[in-house]
């Protein structure tokens, strides 16, 4: 078969559905074919871009029969950069797809009773554009000008972005303003081929609640030429910026951030407010990128936990305390743990500034800290987890099943690792429901709040 199909071959294909990354799925000579830019129920002419033993990759060369859910792309760079892979799919169809992705993942891993799970319709946004409160854009010279933007998928070829459909407008205004200042001051930007130049990446984050903006220059060396002029120009031309830092990350690396961050001007934090709780955010502090839907997600988590007066709550993978603090008003006490010391310091600071005295935060791995707390007599009534895309660490699930909290809420950003983890969790817990929330419109990503209760 591999000899028969060559890269560049074109053939008509009927698209059955979308895969978890938003690519169309069809079958060519019984071989699964993933087609970027194709939508369910379309007939396309697919052009092969990669050949694998068990599947083909292709792009849409031409659409013969269009989906009724196809809409004009939300951004002129649709199909050129990532981040808007569902940008030609109507928003109601995006929401249906995200619910279906969860069902697909359950069908793949088959946790106990999965066919009967209450998988609820995805909660969307009224306006699914311009929601991202953070941009992390590489900076390069393009046609003699300083430009920031995103790479074409699978390359390091930069596409300059003046606006972008999912980014908040103030964030993009600041990015463009910084590029003009850097160009005017003639500060060297990074050249990847030569591994020379100074400014590699611009990280801009804004607070939807306060309008404050935080800028971090990620640089190839600790030296930052014309620093005083740069800071003066930012203060004059970009008054929303109240925090400017520098992070040093030398040489060619796939990592965006280096280990060392220094405050150059202004405040060490910007402040975001969600559901009445304020959070101080240092440059590397994690907070969901969609403030409006974060409020929805946290409200769903609170409802799922159904906390009672005096409940002991453990917030595993707590980060800067965002989820636990959103629940602290209802809980008797909240304890959180995280492996990043700076995040724990931020969590303590956030608890203090909101006046919470019923919280405690510890540096350490969740799978080690939880058993220690239980052995010391702190037996949680409820546990909430919001792990990274890799899901729950191998040893955390046995620790949780030993602690056996009555109520457990799993906030997931990856349906595949969620379904995998539910295989083990569903042996002891009932899955009451899965409520997905669209945190990232125009993309294939989806978050879910899962309510679990201890089996009687």
413 is catalytic: yes
* Angstrom distance (rounded) from CA 158 to CA 323: 35
3-state helix, strand, coil in the chain (%, to 5): 25, 35, 40
Q: Which of 82, 57, 133, 97 is nearest to 415 (CA)?
A: 97
* Angstrom distance (rounded) from CA 442 to CA 129: 8
Q: Which distant-in-sequence residues (6+ apart) come within 8 Å of 138 by Cβ? A: 148, 149, 150, 151, 158, 190, 200, 201
What are the start-end ranges of the H helices in 189-239? 227-237
Structure tokens at 307: 């906390």
Could you say which of 413, 419, 422, 450 is catalytic? 413
* Angstrom distance (rounded) from CA 210 to CA 205: 12
Q: Which of 272, 282, 130 is nearest to 206 (CA)?
A: 272
Concatenated DSSP letters of 273-312: EETTEEEEE-TT----S-HHHHHHHHHHHHHHHT--TT-E
Q: What is the dihedral of CA 326, 327, 333, 336, to 10 degrees?
A: -60
The sign of the torsion formed by the CA atoms of 379, 382, 387, 390 equals positive
38 within 8 A of 57, measured Cβ to Cβ: no
Order of strands, edge to edge, in the sheet holding 429-437? 119-123, 429-437, 447-454, 407-412, 382-385, 312-316, 333-338, 359-363
327 within 8 A of 302, measured Cβ to Cβ: yes
Instruction: Name 89's bridge partners.
Output: 70
Cα-based angle 413, 399, 356 (whole degrees, multiple of 5): 65
The sign of the torsion formed by the CA atoms of 376, 382, 386, 392 equals positive
Alpha-carbon radius of gyration of the chain: 24
Q: What are the residue numbers of the active site?
A: 413
């Amino acid at each position: 078969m591999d000899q028969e199909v060559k890269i560049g071959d074109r053939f008509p294909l009927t698209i059955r559905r979308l895969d978890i990354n938003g690519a169309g799925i069809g079958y060519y000579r019984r071989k699964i074919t993933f087609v970027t830019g194709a939508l369910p129920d379309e007939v396309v002419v697919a052009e092969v871009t990669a050949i694998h033993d068990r599947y083909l990759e292709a792009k849409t060369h031409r659409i013969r029969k269009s989906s009724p859910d196809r809409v004009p792309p939300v951004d002129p760079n649709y199909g050129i950069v990532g981040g808007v892979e569902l940008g030609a799919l109507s928003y109601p169809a995006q929401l249906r797809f995200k619910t279906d992705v969860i069902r697909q993942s359950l069908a793949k891993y088959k946790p106990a009773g999965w066919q009967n799970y209450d998988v609820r319709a995805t909660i969307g946004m009224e306006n699914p554009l311009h929601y991202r409160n953070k941009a992390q854009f590489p900076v390069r010279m393009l046609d003699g000008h300083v430009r920031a933007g995103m790479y074409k998928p699978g390359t390091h070829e930069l596409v300059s972005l003046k606006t972008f459909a999912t980014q908040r407008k103030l964030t993009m205004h600041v990015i463009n303003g910084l590029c003009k200042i850097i160009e005017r001051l003639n500060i060297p930007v990074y050249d990847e081929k030569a591994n020379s130049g100074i400014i590699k990446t611009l990280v801009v984050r804004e607070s939807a609640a306060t309008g404050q903006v935080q800028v971090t220059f990620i640089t190839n060396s600790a030296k930052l030429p014309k620093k005083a002029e740069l800071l003066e120009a930012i203060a004059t031309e970009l008054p929303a910026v109240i925090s400017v830092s520098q992070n040093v990350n030398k040489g060619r690396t796939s990592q965006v951030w280096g280990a060392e961050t220094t405050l150059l001007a202004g405040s060490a934090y910007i402040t975001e407010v969600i559901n009445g709780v304020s959070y101080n955010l240092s440059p590397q502090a994690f907070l969901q990128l969609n403030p409006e839907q974060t409020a929805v997600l946290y409200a769903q988590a609170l409802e799922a936990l159904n906390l009672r007066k005096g409940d002991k709550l453990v917030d595993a993978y707590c980060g800067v305390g965002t989820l636990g603090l959103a629940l602290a008003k209802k809980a008797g006490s909240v304890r959180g743990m995280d492996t990043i010391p700076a995040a724990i310091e931020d969590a303590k600071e956030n608890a203090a500034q909101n006046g919470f005295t019923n919280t405690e935060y510890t540096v350490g791995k969740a799978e080690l800290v939880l058993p220690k707390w239980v052995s010391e007599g702190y037996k949680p009534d409820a546990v909430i987890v919001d792990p990274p895309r890799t899901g729950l660490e191998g040893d955390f699930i046995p620790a949780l099943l030993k602690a056996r909290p009555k109520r457990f809420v799993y906030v997931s950003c990856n349906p595949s690792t969620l379904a995998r983890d539910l295989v083990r969790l569903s042996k002891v817990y009932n899955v009451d429901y899965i409520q997905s929330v669209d945190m990232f419109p125009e993309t294939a990503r989806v978050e879910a709040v899962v309510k679990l209760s201890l089996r009687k």
